[in-house]
Structure 1
Amino acid sequence: MAAVLLFIVLLSGCKADVDDLSGKVFSFPEESDTSHVKLSANTQTPISAMTLCLRFFSEQHRGQSLFSLATPSHDNNLLLFKPHQLGKYRVHVEGADLDFFGLPDDKNGWNSVCWTWQSGSGLTQLWVNGKRSVRAFLRANLSITGKPSVILGQEQDTYGGGFHMKQSFVGDITDVHLWDRVLSPCEIRLYIEGKSFAPGNVLNWRALEYASEGNVFVEMSDFHSVICKN
């Protein structure tokens, strides 16, 4: 009986805590080829549609990864990447990539980004700080299968690894949500404006299971107005 209890204690100790990170950020203060946060995705079925939303704050003028989801068969299943060019964003679905131009890009300020993709039509779109891109075509009629490895702070060139310092994120990331459907424009605007919205059902910042490695810190967010009292 004692052995069984010990096994249960050890098993529970291996599982990352589920935290409500409302009002918090992951802070990445320096370039690194190791520092990252691994998120546990709540999905057991193939992904054939999705909306990813997050906010980032950075003053970098080089390319950096904002969100990376890989499976054992593909390292760039879902990748949101910020190239160095002002107003340019790049998305990947199962290795195919597409660039969007002319979107807001506030250096040293908060950028609220939502990315949608639907396999049935192949349509994908970006929203940044309330401005939307055109709808574009990317990888129709496929599903993302396999156990997902979700990483913040690095781009995965192999499943769960293959990090490069010059692709690492430097700055703050907060309010990461992932849904297994395409949100409506109204729902996206509620998120971008910081109003009440239904959290992601695949990744939920308010109930997030994660593990960090290296110099990554959980700090207070200043995205919303903060009233300071003496």
Structure 2
Amino acid sequence: MEKLFIVSILFAACCAVPQDLSGKMFTFPVESRTARVTLLPSQVNFKSVTVCLRFITNLTRNYALFSMASHNTHNDFVIYKTANKGHFEVYTRGKASSFQGLPDEPNTWYSSCSTWDSNSGLTQVWINGNPSTRKAGFKGNLDGAPSIVLGQEQDAVGGGFDAGQSFVGMITDVHMWDYVLSACEIQQFASDLNFTPGDVINWRALDFTTFGHVVIKDDLTNGCLRSQ
């Protein structure tokens, strides 16, 4: 089954036409268990991970910013905001790393980067170019065909969605690398300066599919600093 899934990903990669979404954003206007965006990565095994994106929401409940599942676990790499103010969680191969005291105001644009190193297992969250403390996560590679979703949290590969964990708001500039970005690179991303785009997921050449009520609109803040 996994081989078939990998073949389907590779086939889609051959046939998909990546789009440059510079100056665009995904808008998730309503709470839903169907609205989502699936992203097609350029590879299926990861020694380390950095995911950066920008978002705005007025949610005060739990929601997922980024959900990667595989046959090993539905929480292979997940960026999750809990209902507790300033509390984020990063899951690596099902192991949760908890971060508290981070910036968290409604209706505010935030630049978010989450990193994980396979050798040490250390995870870290950066908000607007400022780092959290490092926490212990999973040690070892993330192998297996990934299913990557924005807008929903996967409780099964490509499914198991709960409207109460869905994202409502806007997301843009999503990038993923298979290594841990340096502090300088993360700060360049946060400041909208020149940075090397993701080698796994690249907003400027994005393979994606939308489902349900998701709208692609111009990013009206494009060209202005969104981080605070």
TM-score normalized by structure 2?
A: 0.90
Q: What is the identity, as a one-letter code, of the residue corresponding to 2:138?
A: R
**CA distance in structure 1 between the partners assigned to 2:74 and 2:81 by the alignment:** 17
**CA distance in structure 1 between the partners assigned to 2:82 and 2:135 by the alignment:** 18
**CA distance in structure 1 between the partners assigned to 2:113 and 2:89 by the alignment:** 13
Alignment of 1:103-142 (within 5 A): 103-140=102-139, 142=140
Residues 160-213 of structure 1: CA deviation (Å, up to 9, x unaligned): 000000000000000000000000000000001111100000000000000000
Unaligned runs of 5+ in 2: 1-10
1:25–1:219 Cα contact (<8 Å) kept: yes
Quick one: which of 144, 149, 152 aligns to 1:151?
A: 149
**CA distance in structure 1 between the partners assigned to 2:190 and 2:198 by the alignment:** 14
Residue of structure 1 in register with 2:39 after alignment: 39
Residues 32-53 of structure 1: CA deviation (Å, up to 9, x unaligned): 0111000000014x21111110
Residue of structure 2 in register with 1:180 after alignment: 178
In the TM superposition, residue 136 of structure 1 has moved relative to its aligned partner by 1.4
**CA distance in structure 1 between the partners assigned to 2:221 and 2:135 by the alignment:** 30
Q: What is the identity, as a one-letter code, of the residue corresponding to 2:148?
A: V
Residue of structure 1 in register with 2:202 after alignment: 204
Point out the structure with max Rg over C-alpha.
Answer: 1
1:96 aligns with 2:92: no
Identity of aligned residues (%): 44
Larger proportion of strand: 1
Unaligned runs of 5+ in 1: 1-10
1:177–1:199 Cα contact (<8 Å) kept: yes
Residues 73-111 of structure 1: CA deviation (Å, up to 9, x unaligned): 211000001112221111101111021011111310101
1:171 aligns with 2:169: yes
1:28 aligns with 2:28: yes
**Matched residue of 2:159: which SS?**
coil
**Matched residue of 1:166: which SS?**
helix
**Matched residue of 1:114: which SS?**
strand
**CA distance in structure 2 between the partners assigned to 1:222 and 1:192 by the alignment:** 17
2:33–2:162 Cα contact (<8 Å) kept: yes
2:48–2:118 Cα contact (<8 Å) kept: yes
**CA distance in structure 2 between the partners assigned to 1:225 and 1:194 by the alignment:** 8
1:103–1:131 Cα contact (<8 Å) kept: no
**CA distance in structure 1 between the partners assigned to 2:70 and 2:156 by the alignment:** 9
Alignment root-mean-square deviation, CA: 1.5
**Matched residue of 1:198: which SS?**
coil
TM-score normalized by structure 1?
A: 0.89
**CA distance in structure 2 between the partners assigned to 1:138 and 1:147 by the alignment:** 20
1:18 aligns with 2:38: no
2:176–2:200 Cα contact (<8 Å) kept: yes
**CA distance in structure 1 between the partners assigned to 2:223 and 2:50 by the alignment:** 26
Task: Provide closer, same or farther for how the CA distance between residues 16 and 213 of structure 1 changes in structure 2, counting only shifts above 3 A.
Answer: farther
In the TM superposition, residue 225 of structure 1 has moved relative to its aligned partner by 4.2
